[in-house]
Amino acid sequence: MLKVLKQLHLPLWLLLSCVLATLWVLLSPEAGLGRVSRLTNSWSDSTEDSSPEHVCNCSGILQGDVEALEQAKLLTITKEFHQRIHIPDESYVRATQDCRNFKLKRKYNTQPLSEEEEDLPLAYSIVVHQKVQSFERLLRSIYTPQNLYCIHVDKQAAASVTAAISAIASCFPNVFMVSRREEVVYASWSRVQADLNCMAHLYNVSSQWKYFINLCGQDFPLKTNLETVRMLRSLWGGNSLESEQMPSGKKHRVTVVHKIVNRAMEKTKEAKTPPPFNLPILSGSAYMVVSRGFIHSVLTDSRIQALMDWAKDTYSPDEFLWATIQRIPGVPGSNWPNSKYDMSDVNAIARLVKWEHHEGSQGSLQAVYPLCHGRHVRSVCVYGAGDLHWMIQQHHLFANKFDTDTDPIAIYCLEKYLRQKALADVH
C-alpha cells in the first residue's frame, strides 16, 4: 500500500486527512448525508399539511386538468374558505417571537442546497406596501441562507404591515429592512428611488453577490434557486430585461414635465429638455435581472447620474430608466443600442406578465399568450389556477401578478411545484 502511494507521489498525511474528512462528513449530523436527508424530511410539504388549500389536486391543476380546476374554483368561491385562509398581520408578530419555531413550522430552507448555488449568491430588492401573507409566501419560496434580501416597505404602509414585515425580517440575518424608506406614488420617481435605496444598501453590506433581482409583493417565482442560478450563468455576465423602442403612444411620458398632485402624477404644460448626452430612451419594465457590475454603474457612472436627475419629473421612469441604462455602451452586461439588440418582455427572463390587450384565444396569431384565468387589474392579469399550466412552461424566473385574495390556489400549487422540484434536485 505504502509503495503504491509513493509511486503516486501522494504523501501519507494527505491520504489520512482525506479519510478523516470523509468520515467526518459521513458521521457529522450537521453535514453531508445526515444534513440532506434531515432537510428533505423537515422541508417536504407532503407532511402534516393542514392548510385549507390542501384538498386541491395540484398535479391535476398544473397539467391543466379541467376537473381539478373546477374543483378548485368551487372551493375558492366560498366566503368561508377566504375567511379560513386569512391571516391577520398581528399573528406574524406573535409567530416570529420564537424565530426557530417560526422557521421550522413554515419550513424555511436553512441550508444552501448545493455548492453550485452557494457559489452564485443573489441580492434581492423587494418593494411592498400591503398584503403580508403574499410577501411572506414569496420570501419563503425564494429564501436560501446564501442570498441577501433587502425589503422596502412603503412609508405610507399601515403600521401593522410594517410591524409584521420587520418581525419576519428580524428572524433572518440575511433579510433586512432598507435604511431609507420612500413614500411610493404610482408612476412617479419614488418607485425607482425605493429600488435605488435597496441597491445602495445591498452593495454596501456585501461584496459577494453576483446578480441583482428586484421584486414586488405581487410577484412569485416560477423557478427554483438552482434553476435561477443556472439560467443566470447561461447569461455569460449579461443582463436580462425588457428594452425596446418606445411606442409613440408613450412618448409624452418623457417629453412633458410631470409632477405629483394629491399623490398622483399629473402632466404640466412645460416641455422637457432632451435627455443628457442625447441618450436614446428605451421602453421597458420596472423589473430586471442584472449583474453586480450593472448596479455598480447605476450607483457611480456620471452619465447615469445625469440621466436619473433628468428623469425625476417624467411619467413612470421605472418603465424606461433600466431599459435605457441597459443600452448605454460600457455598462456591464448591457446591449449595444442598435435596434437589432432590442429585447421584449417575452424574450427577457425577468418577468412574465399577461397584458390584457395581448391575450387571445389559443391558435390566434395576434395573441401573444392565452386568455387570463383570473381577473385584470390595470390591464394586467392577476393569475388564477387555470394559468399555471401555461405559466410553468415559460422561461421567466418570476411572474406578476399574484394575489392570495384573488386565487390562493394558484400560489399554493406553485409553492408545492417549486418545493418538489427543489427537493428532487438535492442529491
Ligand X SMILES: *[C@@H]1O[C@H](CO)[C@@H](O)[C@H](O)[C@H]1NC(C)=O
The residues annotated as belonging to the active site are 319
Q: Which residues contact 22 (CB under 8 A, 6 or more apart)?
A: none
Asked whether 280 and 329 are in contact (CB, 8 A), the reply is no
In whole angstroms, the minimum distance from the beta carbon of 64 to ligand X comes to: 9
- Nearest position to ligand X, beta carbon: 60
Q: Can you give the binding site for ligand X, defined by CB under 6 A?
A: 57, 59-60, 63, 65, 68, 179, 200-201, 204
Q: Which three cell numbers stand for residue 142?
A: 425564494
In whole angstroms, the minimum distance from the beta carbon of 202 to ligand X comes to: 9
Alpha carbon separation from 31 to 22, 132, 208, 397, 422 (Å, rounded): 11, 34, 23, 30, 18
Q: Which is nearer to ligand X, 43 or 189 (CB)?
A: 189
For residues 420 and 414, give the distance between their C-alpha atoms in angstroms, rounded to a whole number.
10
How many residues in the chain?
427
Q: Which is nearer to ligand X, 199 or 328 (CB)?
A: 199
Upper half-sphere CA count for residue 247 (Cβ side, 13 Å): 5
User: Maximum CA pair distance of the chain?
Assistant: 90
Q: SS3 of 112, please?
A: coil
Hey, which residues does 381 pair with through a beta bridge?
376
In whole angstroms, the minimum distance from the beta carbon of 392 to ligand X comes to: 15
Q: Which three cell numbers stand for residue 163?
A: 410591524
Q: Which three cell numbers stand for residue 277?
A: 448626452
In whole angstroms, the minimum distance from the beta carbon of 290 to ligand X comes to: 18
In whole angstroms, the minimum distance from the beta carbon of 201 to ligand X comes to: 5
